[in-house]
Amino acid sequence: MNIETKCLHEGYTPKNGEPRVVPIVQSTTYVFDSTEHIGQLFDMLTEHMYSRISNPTVEAVEKKIAALEGGVGAMCTSSGQAALLLSILNICSAGDSFISTSTIYGGTVNLFAVTLKKFGIECIFVDADAPEEEIQKAFKPNTKAVFGETLANPALSVLDIEKFARIAHKNGVPLIIDNTFATPILCRPIEYGADIVVHSTTKYMDGHAVQVGGVIVDSGNFNWANGKFPEFTEPDESYHGVVYTKDFGKLAYIIKARMQLMRDLGCSPSPNSAFLLNLGLETLHIRMERYCANAKTVAEYLNKSDKIEIVNYPGLEGDKYHDLAKKYLPLGCSGVISFSIKGGRANAVKFMDSLKLASNVVHVADIRTCVLHPASATHRQLTDEQLVAAGINPGMIRLSVGLESVDDIIADIEQALEKIK
């Protein structure tokens, strides 16, 4: 199946007389006719047992996303942040470190630099554009993973995924990629060597701003038995002594995430949310195409305006990341643009408050055009140094171009720019 077909048909295949659309199984639990049967499920989860661990509606969406990304398995979570947290906790324990590029989502900076630090896990930030030898210097004996975003939120830098996969694998650790902005329609990081892919499904995958969610996808390609990851190769006493690499093979990572972390931390999505996410996924391929086309037109318009200092959109000829975009995002660079208005913070705020069609919201990748001022919202907790490292200046606006008529979007921007002296 091609990816457009997968968006519609993967994950759920009704049999004779069954519902056409994946049903919402809004049930916490499942009935079995014997105590022995339930006992067996505790030994080896072959059926749904309790909806914190797994649920048929959620499972259908997990299978679809795994197929879209080209992975062997996936696990949905209650938010993108939960997916990020579990993706790291499944590999790192207190005393370990991991490497992350500094151009990442503000919420992830907090999670990595502040909250995981309290867990005893150190995050070492590196410049994504630094040469390999430079990044290599950041590795320590206890470094267990490397992390980056395909298309960074909101800097809109494009990650050289192959470079990072090479560095990670040379050091015997997996590469985790947050593919939220690109979605598997525009880029499938596993094809470039990523081992684990995470998403905030809240963004384009859902697309309609109706539910918060996340997902972790396992490529099945990483060799967890290379000696660096004893949790994968030694018996798990909390789960009747299973050895993940031995008992689950290519599914070791994603099953471990479910059986240890989802079981114990419980950040599971609701079946109703999974149903809504599935609706979003069904049209993802068409929406991404239009987001990219609209955003490119808007970026070209902004680029010509004398009121704009800089436009960051890797789809633009001359953008710093245009060459990487041609390689990793050949179909387009999503609907998100970031730009700075001349006159800094004050003019940025004036511009945003003058918009009529575009809404001022703490969201991105919605079907409706929206704007955000990162320095006073998503990245508010960051120090000035962290802001600069994340590729953000105080006057920067993040514009998420929606699916309205592109002429209406530009007319709105034009009238708001006119309000600025």
Ligand X SMILES: *Cc1c(COP(=O)(O)O)cnc(C)c1O
- Our CB check for ligand X shows the closer of 311 and 390 to be 390
Distance CA(332)–CA(295), nearest Å, equals 9
Least distance (Å) from ligand X to the CB of residue 419? 29
Residue 157, C-beta contacts closer than 8 angstroms, at least 6 positions apart: 103, 128, 129, 151, 312, 314, 320, 321, 391
Asked whether 236 and 244 are in contact (CB, 8 A), the reply is yes
CB nearer to ligand X: pick between 220 and 269 = 269
* Shorter beta-carbon distance to ligand X: residue 153 or 157: 153
**Strand order from edge to edge, sheet including 336-341:** 308-312, 336-341, 396-400, 370-372, 359-360
CA distance 216 to 269: 13
Return the number of the residue (278 or 347) whose C-beta is nearest ligand X: 278
Q: Report the C-alpha gap between 8 and 279 in whole angstroms.
A: 9
Closest-CA residue to 181 (of 291, 85, 60)? 291
CB atoms within 10 A of CB 417: 18
Q: In the complex with ligand X, which residue's Cβ is closer, 164 or 224?
A: 164
In the complex, minimum distance from the CB of residue 146 to ligand X, in angstroms, rounded to a whole number: 16
Binding-site ranges for ligand X (CB under 6 A)? 79-81, 105, 107-108, 149, 153, 178, 180, 200, 202-203, 212, 214
DSSP labels, 9-32: HTT----TTS-SSPP----SB---
Name which of 203 and 373 has its Cβ closer to ligand X. Answer: 203
CB of 15 to ligand X, least distance (A): 34
- Nearest distance, CB of residue 149 and ligand X, angstroms: 5
CB of 150 to ligand X, least distance (A): 9
CB of 398 to ligand X, least distance (A): 10
230 burial (CB, 10 Å; 0-12 / 13-18 / 19+) is exposed
CB of 55 to ligand X, least distance (A): 19
Burial label, 31 (beta-carbon count in 10 A; 0-12, 13-18, 19+) = exposed
Cβ distance to ligand X smaller for residue 105 or 192: 105
